[in-house]
Amino acid sequence: MKYRTLGKHGLKVSAIGYGCMGLTQSYPPYLPKDESISLIRKAVDMGVTFFDTAEVYGPFSNESLLGEALHPFREQVVIATKFGFDLEHGRNDVHNRPVILSSRPAHIRKALEGSLQRLRTDYIDLYYQHRVDPDTPIEEVADTMADLIKEGKIRGWGLSEAGAQTVRRAHAVCPLTAVQSEYSMWYREPEKELLPVLEELGIGFVPFSPLGKGMLTGRFNKDSTFSSDDFRSAIPRFSPQNLKHNVVIAELVQEVAAGKHTSPARIALAWLMAQGPNIVPIPGTKTVERLEENIGAAGIVFSQTELDNIRHRLDQIAIIGARYPKEQEQLTGL
């Protein structure tokens, strides 16, 4: 396994992380608990040291699962989790309850104590604000993070789906370790403003959905459909009419993969890592085979000519449809 560093304080992580959300949420069917634990531990055996979860995944069950799986290896791994939702009065839309954001200092501390308990640890390596709370100044959040770092309860902090100016304001109060946002060959919005700011400030970048929610792996075609309990069924860019157009992006990735004698998933992940040394994607998976495939992306190298050609072709493709249902788009800062 190769390794990368997030932030100026030197948080060393595996070049490919593991996004755990899909083990308990959004992408059924889910593995039995013992199989999920076995898969997470297999990832550790294969050199993965960076694991991403959140209190809202489940909610709570994802953290509990990860805590049990990683407890024997706690000092060998880096755990990232997230706060920012008021789960007493609302949950994410998977449960058909209202989404309520809260990043008040007292709420953050309460959320952190719950996460520490579920993750079976006394510190969090990387603690993200899951979504920016418009009712709590980001400077107040950053002050709270600074206090938690001093107390040893967290070792670094980050933002998820935050805009460039929010990142600047937060970083000025308490330096950020990383920012997490969606980024892939079919969603490149962070390139416009966010990535240049992160490079300037020395902040790591953690792309979620690096495989385009499965689109870039070649799993789907223009006629693919999704069950009602699959999150993709509510995403506009996966709607039947839009998918017929958007599948062209998967065909491009498959073509590049064939030219380099590798898999589309490895191409998609390697392309992301080629965009900067501070970028660490966190693909999720439910099988050892896909885990091995994802990890293998760290060994794929592109020439500058290849990268220029891929970018030129990506620029010619217009993806149709939003990346989130309308009610969730308002929670993003990009």
* Catalytic residue numbers, as ranges: 57
Tokens at residue 221, please? 């075609």
DSSP summary character for residue 187 = B
Within 13 Å and on the Cβ side, how many CA atoms surround 82?
31
**Percent helix, strand, coil in the chain (nearest 5)?**
45, 15, 40
Rounded-to-integer distance, Cα 311 and Cα 320, Å: 18
Rounded-to-integer distance, Cα 275 and Cα 262, Å: 19
Gap between the terminal Cα atoms of the chain: 32
Rounded-to-integer distance, Cα 126 and Cα 82, Å: 8
Tokens at residue 49, please? 């040291």
17 class by beta-carbon count within 10 Å (0-12 exposed, 13-18 middle, 19+ buried): buried
Amino acid at 15: A
Question: Count H helices, E strands: the chain?
Answer: 11, 9
8 A C-beta contact, residue 110 and residue 61: no
By residue count, the chain amounts to: 334
Tokens at residue 111, please? 């959320």
